[in-house]
Structure formats: C-alpha cells, structure tokens
Structure 1
Amino acid sequence: MEAPVAGIDVSKDKLIVYFQGKLYEFTNDKRGYEEIRKILPKGCKVGIESTGVYHVNLAKYLNNEYDVRIINPFILKKFKDFRGKKSDKNDAKKLAELVVSMCSGFTTSDARELTSQWDFVTRSIARVKNRLRRDLVLLGYRDSLSKKNLEEVLRGGDSIVLAEVRFLLEELERLEGRKREIEKELEDFVSKDSLIFTIPGIGKTLGCIILARVGDVKRFSDKKRFVAYCGLDPVVESSGKSVVSRGISKKGDAVLRRAFYLAALTAIKVNPVIKRFYEEHKGRLKGKKLITACARKLAVITWAVLYYNKPFDASE
C-alpha cells in the first residue's frame, strides 16, 4: 500500500499543510510541529519547499517518523501546471502533487544536508589555505603548503603571524577530518553501482554529491532543464543583430554547480569528450569561463547517462 502524501508550505511564522484534500494552518515552532504529527500518519511522504533556514527545524523534527522530501523552489516553479497567482495554500497542494509525481526522485533531507555541509567545509578549507599562503609570504617563506616548507616555517621564532599559522593548521586539520567523515557518510545514501560512475572525471565523492542533489533525473524532460537546475545555463542577450553571452544564470543549485565545476577540472584530463571540447574551445574561452563551459558539457553528459540509463560511451 502506497504511503499517504502531504505538502507543507513554510514561511517564517506559519506552516500551511495540505493533506488528503484538506488545508491546515499552524505556527512555525515546536507547538506547530506537534500539531502536524497529530494529523499525519507515520511513514507519510512529506514535501517541504527549501526556504532558506525556515524549513530546517521542521524537517529535522519530522525526519524520524516521516519520509521527508526537501524540494528546491526552482523545481516547484517549473512543475507542470504550476500557474496563476502564487498563494501559500496553492503551494502546499502543489508540493504534495509534486511528491506524488516524482516520489521516487527526491533524496532524504539528511543526504541534502550532508551535501550542504560538504560544500561549506570545502569552501572553508580553501579560505584557510589562502590565508595560510598569505601568512607564509608575510613571514618571508614560499607560499607552498608542502610538509617540508611548513616544518621550516614552524621552526621560526614566535610572532603574531606565526601564532595564526599554528591556529590555521589546526583548523585545517579539523576541517579536512570533517570533510572525510561527510564523504564517508554520503556513500550510504547513493547506489554504488550508479551509471554516473562510468563517466570519466566524476569520482566517488562528486558522484555521490551530484546524485544526492539531483535525485531522480527523470523529472528533467530534457537536458536544458537539467542544466538550468544546475545553474549552468548560459545567459544570452540579443540587441538588433548582435548576440552577447553574459555568462551563466547561477539561478539553480549552487552545490551542484560547484560539484560539476570541480569534476570538470579532472574531466578535461581524463574524459575524451570533455578533453576534446576543451581543446576546441580554448582559443575562444579562457580561465573559469572555459572550465564552466566544460562543466555544462559534463552536466549534459550526466543527464543523458542517467536519463537513458546507459553507461558513458565516448563515441556517442
């Protein structure tokens, strides 16, 4: 027997719940969460739109007893027949309908939370490393983070800058440890035999992150929708006879966009299709723009592999 489905529209102060043809309104606090538990049976599929931080506590509260699906607002806007004037009540109903139509495609809130943590920790590591390199230069050393260079730096006399170097190295070790823990936990949320791992350039960690953020790729009926969801769709402006590219929209999933960008850095070396694309476009594009174009191409390949359920084939 299929589990019942509910949709919850979340705002700062209130929750609108749609369940079995009826609408309910509760406060967005623990008291409201308890009221929701009274009307929703255990095991119910619950669609909640991602709304900054306002949905987080609700999702955590419900996650133990319910199948919580966190839905990207971009997907909700693109959902078929989602038209007309926006309203909290209509949104709650559409969230429930969206879960029904795509019930096999959303990852749990825990998996999405892990990918968000991974993204935050990864960016924090980059900031700490940049600060370390800056401090090494101030101390008169090379900006290399090699073990040999750091050992030489740490033998220097005490100073305010050296004290920060020691602190940053401890912080870096802590962050990298947490990153490894997250990557290990993520492996439990995705299928280890997913065809995404047949794509050269997409390794275990980035593959897990992409799968956790995407869920069921079947909900993207064509590659353009998928690329837009990843925030990698190009923005083009036309005026008269001229057409000018303004980069990418960045309206989609920021974590997915960064994951594909990082994967593209490897793919340009090991993936024959991306490598060829890189060589063909490096005369026209430079730096990050070229890598972003490769990331977009890699996203298209990923969509095709998962959508058609066929392993990567460089000849196609």
Structure 2
Amino acid sequence: MNFKNITKPAANKIIIVAGLIFIALFCFAADCKDRPVQKSPVPADISLVKSHLQALTKTPEFRNYKNIDQLNAVADYIQQNFSKYGDSTTFQEYPVDDKIYKNVITSFGMENKKRIIIGAHYDVCGDQQGADDNATGVTALLELARMLKGQKLNYRIDLVAYTLEEPPYFRTENMGSYIHAKYLKDHHIEVYGMASVEMIGYFRDEKDSQSYPRGVLSWVYGNKGDFITLVKKFGAGDFVNHFTTNFKEANQIKTETFTAPKFVKGTDFSDHLNYWKFGYSALMITDTSFFRNKNYHETTDTLETLDLPRMTRVIDGIFLSLIHLK
C-alpha cells in the first residue's frame, strides 16, 4: 500500500478501526479472568419470563403506533404488573397526531435523591409480534420490578416502559424516551445514569451466527452469537463504567463490551440515544439486534426463536448490577 496516496478521511477511518481493535483486545484480555457466578438473592423466574412474553406478543392486534387501543392495553398490562411491586407507578401521557401515548413508570428506593433509569420500549415496528424487539426488554422490566421489591438500594431506580421508539417516530421528539429524558432535564432531576434494555433474547452457538458493524471485530469477539453486549460511547461516565464492572463481576452470562463513536452503525439504535442527547451517562444492553437476529423487524420475530434460559440470566445480571451499585 502506498501510504502517501491515502486521503485524510481514509486515514482517519484506519485510525478509528485500529483504535477499536486495540480497545476490544484490551477489554478482552482484561475480562479473561475466571470469576465465580454470583448468586442472586431473588433470581429471575423463567416461567414468569415466558408468561410475560406470551402476554406481550400474543395480542389481538399488533402493538404498533397505528393500533392505539392495543398499545393502551399493553400499557395497562405493564402498569398492573408494576403496581404489584413498585413504590409508585404512573403513566406519563403525551399527545402525538391527536392521539395520547403513554410511558409507564414505576419507582423503587424513592428515599434516595439521585436516580437510575432502566428503560425498554413496548411498541413494535409494523405488523409483527416483536418478541425479541422488544418484548424481551419489557419483560426484563417486569421481572426486575418483582426482584427489586424490598431491596435496600443506594439509588432511586425508575423502570420506564416507553412508547413510540419505532419508525416513523424513531429519532424524533415524539419518542417516549425523548419525552422522559427531556422531563428529567427540564425539572433538574438528578440522574446517575440510564440503561436501555434492547433485544436480549436471541443467542446462537453456530459458527458465523454473529456479524459486526466492522468486519474486523470478528477477530476479537468471534463469529458466534453467544454473548450479551454492553454498548457505550467514549467518555461514558461513572454510571456506565460502574454498571459495566458490576455486570461482568456478576458473571451470569458471557458478556462483551463495545465502546465506539456514535457514527458506528447500531450504537445508538435505541432509547439510550435520547439520554445521550441530554448529557446523561447511558448504555445499551443488547444481543446486537440485526447483527445477529435476522428476524429483526420481520414477522418471524416470535417467541419460539428466543433462548429463555440465557435471557433470564441477562435479567439476573442487570439486577445484581443495580443492587451492588455504590
């Protein structure tokens, strides 16, 4: 290669890719220590996980923005389950195109001033069940509500089920997560950080079952879709760094971290993007979405394609990470 002929943009891309590989190799080396599996005081219940997934996916109509009655029915289901466990449960309603849409919020540890947001969207893209995208994330919230009840917490934890994450509202101010993040900012509410739970149920052990936004990353992470990913940006902040450390130490499931600029495809494809916009420390917990799950935004995204035992261990990892935050 004649390096004299490399343009500045091309050189920058080479530097970025090389940097990503270096960071990935460093993180991989640092994570190779054998760790014991932490025991959860309140383990996630796989039978309840399955029951919630069935309730969210086997609906009379698809839970997309066009079917407002179905979205409201799902919001009611979430609210009813949150209310069993949370210290306070509310709807955050807002108008879009002459219709009222709802976020559903439940809170724990309300004696603490600084709060953590754990969020997931309950709407789907188009006419499909959206089992992985994102009934898995909402089910995680529902189980976390049960698990967090009665726990001694160092932070207030708000579990938030968002509406209107999917197109045509994605990346607009009509996203439920934008409405929620803006409310926090406008009211000067002290937020330690946020985690978006976005597709956590699809795992595969076959060779070449995992792809990446940059192909060279397979050299580091391998080509099997057998791990959960914690996606963060550079300068992620204290919450993300501490949460990530706790999640790895819990050792519930094979875990990789991915730190990259926002322009790398997929790094901001969920509700955490709106907390980034308002300057909050935020990350995404994901099975990598369309880089692994080819049912993404297809009618084939059904409950039968999910790996419930591994999904349940992801929920345990989130729970342990939260209760151990100092």
Relative to its length, the structure with more helix (as a share) is 1
| Normalised TM-score (structure 2) | 0.26
State the structure with bigger RCO (CA 8 A, min sep 6), 1 or 2: 2
Structure with max Cα Rg: 1
